[in-house]
Structure 1
């Protein structure tokens, strides 16, 4: 088949899908994106010009929409180049969040589109005004609703959508649900797996050193900010550190802003350090910034209590990875988290905005080791049943096949005059209509899995 993938930051969340298709062979893959240095052998990367900045005169509530229209225009121009090269995809797959896919139906009329719908912005029931510490004034509510401009335009294309969780689909209006399929994202269970041996030796990551008899509490976010409960976690630390002299704390994440507003000055780490000055033992609390992926996984494997807090928003990859390695997890009580963490079953659930509740759950996890072991094993079992990358790839392929209206099977190469077709070509030609494509060869899967991402704290 011929695939056109679209994401402003190639390859985005389509890395594993693209690798899976390449491992199978016989597919033609074009990926349209903004210019970047990333490359995947076998993928034809086509870049569109990065749109210029939004003029200062544009209304603040319309700035995202204005940029989306500029991206739509740039995406149209990039797709016209692709068409001029003689490429017509059988399906277009991409993220609707930035707008570059909005006009592709005009370049490739009749080609089905499978678009990623990530989140529908609301002024109640989700992230806005969830945290009373950071209220949003009513005069800004209109700007929140305006952020759905691209959502609505993308849905109005009359095409197909997918989203990774029940919670994310629930944020969309009920009349949209019929065209939004849930395809649960997975992690590589071979890489993200338990390693009990880590507890028998000292683990060192940057300035952090954890001896076998010490207890490690881990926290991960792309950036340290309230959306991921950073302020709640920090306020829970004085009680935890005072109760357990054997505790060491690891915080992975940057000091930028991924979601929400920045503090009046500096960054959120600085704000919390000033608030808690003299109340936490900094010799036992380590801010590691962004770490290598191998170190990120090692920290999760060694964790005696992994804390994952979040506003009602999009779940992070680190939550899935923590479950896959069998970490004992303390999660916040928002639907973002409780879709994964059931209290007393796959983890402990604490009040997301209550430092004492988080401290109580963490201390219980550290003290009741049989409970922690059981919850870690259950988290791993949940991941095996629901978060397997291999299953995700099968499900995503099935969704692409449904949208395209045809099976995803390798195309046979054109034979040379007089040459006999290869066995693989014969097998592909003999496959009856409706048969599923054969899975990728194990060696190719292992090779693809071995190429790990470099950054640990990722979305979302």
Structure 2
């Protein structure tokens, strides 16, 4: 078949899938933003990057911007059709940025499949979850409804959709949920595995090794959506109880999902100011964003890994840390409970309970006698249902080929 993959930051969720489809004998082409310079495993064509749309109203701004991206994506698709005669049998695109909205008008005969990552909801998810950071107001719910328009339109147009977790699939209402098949992106368990030889050099030159008393925290950005403020508030008690512990945080200072503090500073600056004098900053290491091998070494060597999240998209860092045999202390929130069972393959604590988090982290750092069992069970969870080669890729390929066959 001829398969078109569409993602503004390709390969995004499709690096392994795109290669596997080629190996199956399919012709695979990717369509992405011209500013995206990430290395691609397949041939790539690029559409013109959109400029921000100047909308008079905040409620329509999200849809206006994503509709503009959809239009430029469709122009690129039209050039593929008219200049080069490209006619895909299947289109698979991430619906999050609107790119798939007009593609059926270019190729009405193609099967349109989407990666349905999450539908924003006004209740029961991130909106109104953390009242310290967000207002639970009518206006915030209005904005959420408006921000969902392109996602609903995208799945209504699609023949079928895929989502990585049950929680994320269930964010869609029942009348749309029936279109979604749950298949996780998959973890390279041979690469992301326990490594007793793992080590990481900190910016100050100190070398951390497996077996050291290390507490890790990983997030794309240091922000409340991933519990950064809760984690930091737990540290004074942890550092006081464990004088040899080293804390390593990976993540940028900006925001990826939520908003910046009202004062305009970063969440890191805000929380450090709040905790001024309460932290031994010689033992708290902010790494920023790091290369993948360094990140992998960190989750392999950490004695305890902390993962906190709002009810929202599940992070790859959780599944990869489980695959690496990590001892995980995580938030007792719905997306996490899909993978972590308290006392069976990790430890769960209420998201906002700072003392409980401190106690759980201390317990892990001092040497929880159940740690070997929990680590082994965490890795086994990934091996049993999330392994890339044994589970995810075969199911993804079968799903695509079945949809193409009708």
TM-score (norm 2): 0.95
Helix, strand or coil for the counterpart of 2:122? coil
Alignment match, 1:68: 66
1:241 and 1:286 map into 2 onto residues whose CA distance is 13
1:71-220 alignment runs, 5 A limit? 71-84=69-82, 85-136=84-135, 137-198=137-198, 203-207=200-204, 208-210=206-208, 214-220=212-218
Q: CA deviation at 1:156?
A: 2.2
1:223 and 1:158 map into 2 onto residues whose CA distance is 32
1:329 and 1:140 map into 2 onto residues whose CA distance is 33
Alignment match, 1:9: 9
2:133 and 2:210 map into 1 onto residues whose CA distance is 40
2:209 and 2:6 map into 1 onto residues whose CA distance is 46
Helix, strand or coil for the counterpart of 1:289? coil
1:166 and 1:97 map into 2 onto residues whose CA distance is 18
1:60 and 1:193 map into 2 onto residues whose CA distance is 45
Q: CA deviation at 1:374?
A: 1.1
Cα contact 1:121–1:145 (8 A) shared by 2? yes
Cα contact 1:113–1:403 (8 A) shared by 2? no
Alignment match, 1:249: 247
TM-score (norm 1): 0.84
Which protein has greater RCO, CA pairs closer than 8 Å, 6+ apart? 1
2:370 and 2:106 map into 1 onto residues whose CA distance is 57
Cα contact 1:366–1:372 (8 A) shared by 2? no
1:54 and 1:213 map into 2 onto residues whose CA distance is 52
* Structure 1, 275-284 or 31-40: larger mean CA deviation: 31-40
Q: Say what the alpha-carbon RMSD is for the aligned residues.
A: 1.6
Alignment match, 2:382: 383
Alignment match, 2:327: 328
Q: CA deviation at 1:266?
A: 1.3
Q: CA deviation at 1:25?
A: 5.9
Select the structure of larger CA radius of gyration: 1
Q: Deviations over 1:159-205 (max 9, x none)?
A: 1111110101111112111111101121111110001234xxx6423
1:393 aligns with 2:390: no
Q: Deviations over 1:326-376 (max 9, x none)?
A: 010001010111111110011000111111111111112223433111111
Q: CA deviation at 1:300?
A: 0.6
Unaligned 5+ segments in structure 2 are: none
Q: Deviations over 1:250-284 (max 9, x none)?
A: 00000011011101221011011111111111111
1:262 and 1:173 map into 2 onto residues whose CA distance is 30
Q: CA deviation at 1:212?
A: 6.4
